[in-house]
């Protein structure tokens, strides 16, 4: 007669949950910071076995929830020495509304990437909000597979090598 319930601030159901390798904003052990919650962040990499070309680009996908009590704006993003981040326009963050920066089309692109990426890497992004200030997080590069397979491919990704069949020995050859 065990119960699987949890209550209070330390309950399992009260903790951030990332169902895939995308990142969740956790700062100093807490979910979110200064009213900004990011339940999913990832950079879309190449198909499995392929790579993003040197000096290529990749879309950045963020889901952002503003719980600060006042509207905010994501103004710009920097990626240190890992390329330039282009934001098509400042992203408005109304209070209590989940904003997806990738739908219907990506609004954020990481460009001029200084090295080839295969997926599995992480890139530190500094997100500049008008009111919340700078929020930093390490965002993973994920391959376009499994739950990410439906996303459009990253521009300039090199294709994965096509396997070539090789003849095998038969019983007659032995």
pTM (two decimals): 0.78
The answer to whether the beta carbons of residues 96 and 151 sit under 8 Å apart is no
pLDDT tens digits, 129-159? 999 999 999 999 999 888 888 888 888 777 6
CATH superfamily of 15-142: PCu(A)C copper chaperone (2.60.40.1890)
The answer to whether the beta carbons of residues 43 and 137 sit under 8 Å apart is no
Total residue length of the chain: 174
pLDDT tens digits, 4-40? 555 554 444 554 444 456 788 887 888 889 999 999 9
């Amino acid at each position: 007669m065990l119960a699987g319930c949890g209550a209070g601030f330390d309950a399992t159901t009260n903790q951030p949950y990332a169902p895939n390798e995308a990142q969740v904003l956790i700062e100093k052990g807490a979910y979110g910071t200064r009213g900004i919650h990011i339940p999913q962040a990832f950079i879309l990499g190449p198909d499995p076995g392929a790579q993003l070309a040197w000096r290529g680009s990749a879309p950045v996908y963020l889901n952002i929830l503003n719980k600060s009590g006042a509207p905010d704006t994501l103004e710009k993003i920097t990626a240190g020495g890992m390329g330039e981040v282009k934001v098509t326009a400042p992203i408005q963050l109304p209070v209590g509304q989940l904003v997806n920066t990738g739908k219907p089309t990506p609004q954020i692109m990481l460009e001029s990437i200084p090295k080839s990426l295969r997926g599995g890497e992480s890139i530190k992004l500094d997100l500049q909000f008008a009111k919340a200030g700078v929020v930093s997080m390490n965002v993973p590069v994920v391959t376009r597979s499994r739950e990410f397979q439906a996303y459009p491919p990253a521009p300039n990704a090199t294709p994965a090598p096509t396997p070539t069949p090789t003849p095998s020995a038969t019983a007659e050859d032995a």
